[in-house]
């Protein structure tokens, strides 16, 4: 038997997340009845589903919030990442539960080994640091910390926040990249800002200006969509590497839109230094070793807009860029964080 929580329940309205003039959705009522039975993952998924509607069912969201509080310390980090973006009443407690995991991830992101002796002039990380990091990622089973968790990590990484003019250009470029058909307003928002975690169409846009010692400056912009490999760029040995995710481990994170952009940029720096750099004309067989000084002297700025929160592999790719190009200012905008309806708190 179903219990009706809000008086009249219209049996013809099955899923009406924000309520309905003739009564709330039948499924909302059923969810209310069975909330205590929900496993943490189901609770997070359901919270996301109901918090994503334009008109919110406050009663149900409050009930979900209470249930989350009951189970808070049973909820695994991946679900905490989803819940932190659902903006429930217990948001502060969810953030408290998620923060230690995000903090530890940021702290364990490997740093370059010192002193750098890598023969190519590029820095590298030592195996022990990398193992500690990958073990942690595997242990916490997170492939994406969600918008709030990712914000915390990006802050710990001390990445820049690009200016609004850049965001505006990024939106235009991504809409153009994603425009395979006439887009309605809702679809335009969908292209620009997805919701957290595993995604379908994700876009990234980058603008860069890099001054390389003894070389022509590299300057430009590009957009990429995840899952679509750039046919003009297929490196056998990219300088930055993706990370295997503990969830959906068979997904090739090298196809993430922002990873493709970062990998191509770093490899372009490598190629330019090889061909034009201070030692380029002295090398044998056209392959001159770069010096650490060359790499450390690359200066400039890279700004990236990603339409949804970067996964753990792409956070690692950003960290690799930070230490491969230490004099380059790196900025990241998360489209999900600034544009997604849930996170904008629309009523």
Interface with other proteins (CB under 8 A): 1-2, 10-18, 20, 22, 25-27, 30-31, 34-35, 37-39, 41-46, 48-50, 52-55, 78-79, 82, 178, 183, 186-187, 189-191, 194-202, 247, 307-308
Q: How far apart are alpha carbons 131 and 110 in whole angstroms? A: 9
Residue 288 CB, nearest approach to other proteins (Å): 43
Residue 189 CB, nearest approach to other proteins (Å): 8
Measured from the CB atom, is 199 or 319 closer to other proteins? 199
- Asked if 14 and 27 touch (Cβ cutoff 8 Å), the reply is yes
- Contacts of 161 by beta carbon, 8 Å cutoff, 6+ apart: 331, 333
Measured from the CB atom, is 43 or 328 closer to other proteins? 43
Measured from the CB atom, is 78 or 274 closer to other proteins? 78
Residue 188 CB, nearest approach to other proteins (Å): 9
Q: How far apart are alpha carbons 333 and 207 in whole angstroms? A: 12
Q: Give 224's strand partners.
A: 204
Residue 36 CB, nearest approach to other proteins (Å): 9
- Contacts of 71 by beta carbon, 8 Å cutoff, 6+ apart: 40, 43
In the chain, the largest separation of any two C-alpha atoms, in whole Å, equals 83
Residue 311 CB, nearest approach to other proteins (Å): 12
Q: What is the 3-state secondary structure (H, E, C) of 53-102?
A: CCCCCHHHHHHHHHHHHHHHHHCCHHHHHHHHCCCCCCHHHHHHHHHHHH
Measured from the CB atom, is 41 or 164 closer to other proteins? 41
Measured from the CB atom, is 46 or 303 closer to other proteins? 46
Measured from the CB atom, is 76 or 297 closer to other proteins? 76
| 212 class by beta-carbon count within 10 Å (0-12 exposed, 13-18 middle, 19+ buried) | buried
User: Which helix (DSSP H) or strand (DSSP E) does residue 133 occupy?
Assistant: helix 127-140
Q: How far apart are alpha carbons 9 and 252 in whole angstroms? A: 46
Taking residue 45's Cβ as centre, other Cβ atoms within 10 Å add up to 17
Q: How far apart are alpha carbons 146 and 199 in whole angstroms? A: 12
Residue 55 CB, nearest approach to other proteins (Å): 6
- Asked if 146 and 181 touch (Cβ cutoff 8 Å), the reply is no
- Asked if 192 and 249 touch (Cβ cutoff 8 Å), the reply is no
Measured from the CB atom, is 84 or 167 closer to other proteins? 84
End-to-end CA distance of the chain: 32
Q: What is the DSSP letter of 306?
A: E
Measured from the CB atom, is 2 or 128 closer to other proteins? 2
Residue 322 CB, nearest approach to other proteins (Å): 26
Measured from the CB atom, is 52 or 129 closer to other proteins? 52
Residue 12 CB, nearest approach to other proteins (Å): 5
Half-sphere exposure of 165 (CA within 13 A, CB side): 1
Residue 165 CB, nearest approach to other proteins (Å): 25
């Amino acid at each position: 038997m179903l219990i009706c929580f809000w008086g009249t329940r219209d049996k013809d309205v099955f899923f009406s997340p924000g309520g309905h003039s003739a009564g709330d959705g039948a499924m909302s009522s059923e969810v209310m009845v069975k909330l205590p039975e929900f496993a943490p993952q189901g609770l997070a998924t359901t919270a996301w589903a109901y918090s994503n509607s334009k008109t919110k069912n406050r009663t149900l969201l409050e009930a979900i919030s209470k249930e989350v509080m009951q189970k808070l310390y049973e909820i695994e980090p991946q679900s905490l990442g989803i819940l932190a973006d659902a903006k429930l009443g217990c948001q502060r407690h969810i953030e408290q539960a998620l923060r230690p995991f995000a903090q530890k991830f940021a702290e364990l992101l490997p740093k370059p080994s010192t002193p750098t002796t890598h023969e190519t002039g590029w820095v590298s990380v030592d195996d022990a640091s990398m193992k500690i990091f990958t073990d942690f990622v595997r242990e916490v089973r997170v492939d994406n910390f969600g918008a709030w968790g990712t914000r915390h990590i990006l802050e710990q990484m001390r990445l820049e926040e690009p200016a609004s003019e850049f965001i505006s250009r990024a939106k235009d470029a991504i809409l153009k990249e994603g425009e395979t058909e006439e887009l309605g307003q809702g679809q335009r928002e969908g292209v620009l800002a997805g919701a957290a975690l595993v995604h379908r169409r994700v876009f990234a846009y980058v603008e860069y200006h890099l001054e390389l010692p003894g070389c022509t400056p590299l300057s430009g912009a590009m957009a990429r969509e995840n899952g679509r490999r750039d046919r003009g760029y297929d490196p056998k040995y990219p300088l930055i590497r993706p990370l295997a995710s503990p969830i959906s481990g068979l997904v090739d994170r090298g196809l993430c839109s922002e990873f493709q952009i970062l990998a191509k940029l770093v490899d372009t720096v490598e190629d330019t230094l090889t061909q034009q750099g201070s030692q380029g004309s002295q090398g044998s067989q056209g392959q001159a070793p770069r010096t650490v000084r060359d790499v450390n002297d690359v200066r400039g700025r890279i700004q990236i807009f990603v339409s949804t929160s970067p996964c753990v592999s792409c956070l690692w790719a950003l960290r690799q860029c930070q230490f491969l190009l230490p004099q380059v200012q790196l900025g990241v905008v998360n489209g999900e964080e600034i544009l997604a309806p849930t996170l904008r708190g629309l009523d």
